[in-house]
Chains A and B, each alone.
Chain A
Amino acid sequence: MVPSFAYLALSAALFTLGAMGVLVRRSALIIFMSVELMLNSVNLAFVTFARMHQSIEGQVVVFFVLVVTAVEVVVGLALIVDIFRSRESVDVDDVDLLRG
């Protein structure tokens, strides 16, 4: 029997990796994938807690996270493509029009 701590530790490690990807990478696409990584680690935590407390609500929340993630990816990628059309780059350092 794998203890719940193993799942939660895996979730924490994946979340940290995703956060680090957002901080370090400069390609908007890879930053976006790191955000997906963080969302997935949170889903794992939700499923673990659902199992721990024998309550299905945790899994229902994961269902909603999946829906919102799908929409987020569609809108985000459309924005990235649009930015690429005007600036010929997806490097977030190149998008600095608002910099003071």
Chain B
Amino acid sequence: MEWVVFIPAAALALAGGVGVVVARQPVHSAIALLVVLVALAVTYLLLAAQFIAALQVIIYAGAIVVLFLFVIMLLHARSGEGPVPKLPRQPVAAAIVAALYLAVLLVAVLDASAPFPPPPEGFGEARQIGAALFAGFLLPFQLAAIILLVGIVTAVILGRRPEGEEER
């Protein structure tokens, strides 16, 4: 029964992943990334991670992809690539390396996979994650707040006009 949900979600995620890598326009890559993010949110629901699925849609799809789209609009048409690649055979070499890498990963993953036990009561709900955050992960949680502050300050400083530059 779960396959009915999993197969379309996995197919969408893979198609979106290919789209991110091969799209010519950065805008198309961003839309493909959005497809991947939503499809992964569906698989999180199958894995009893409701809270993470909600976060995925709100933070990733809602905030991060929008930020990408803003920057693509800001940089306008020149956000793509120059016409001439400096390494002509790079895609072929990358495809071979990627295939080998995928094979290694699949072997490792096959070794690590085990059958799922039935999930405990309330597994993956916001209550349980909140309890874990404030019990065992209090220090990382506080550090996350500091990291967010650092990110805000950095963005303000980097985004500022250089001293003395005229308003356009």
Contact of B20 among A16, A30, A81 (CB under 8 A): A30
Interface class of chain A by DSSP: helix
**A-B residue pair count with CB separations less than 8 angstroms:** 236
Chain B residues whose C-beta falls within 8 Å of the C-beta of A51 in the assembled complex: 47-49, 116, 119, 123
CB-CB nearest in chain B for A51: B47
Docked complex Cα distance between A97 and B13 (Å): 37
Interfacial residues, chain A to chain B (CB-CB below 8 A): 1-21, 23-27, 29-30, 32-34, 36-37, 40, 43-44, 47-52, 54, 56-57, 59-60, 62-64, 66-75, 77-82, 84, 88-91, 93-94
A33 to B31, CA, bound (A): 11
Question: Can you add 15 more A-B contacts, CB < 8 Å, to A72-B151, A75-B155, A78-B155?
Answer: A14-B17, A18-B21, A23-B98, A29-B79, A33-B26, A34-B20, A40-B37, A43-B52, A56-B129, A59-B129, A60-B129, A60-B137, A66-B60, A91-B80, A91-B82
B91-115 toward A: CB 8 Å interface, digit per residue (1/0)?
1001101100110011001101111
Residue-wise, chain B 140-168 has the 8 Å CB interface mask toward A (1 for contact) of 10001001101110110011000000000
Q: Contact between A33 and B75 (Cβ–Cβ < 8 Å)?
A: no
Contact of A47 among B20, B44, B106, B109 (CB under 8 A): B44
Interface pair B59/A75, CB less than 8 Å apart? no
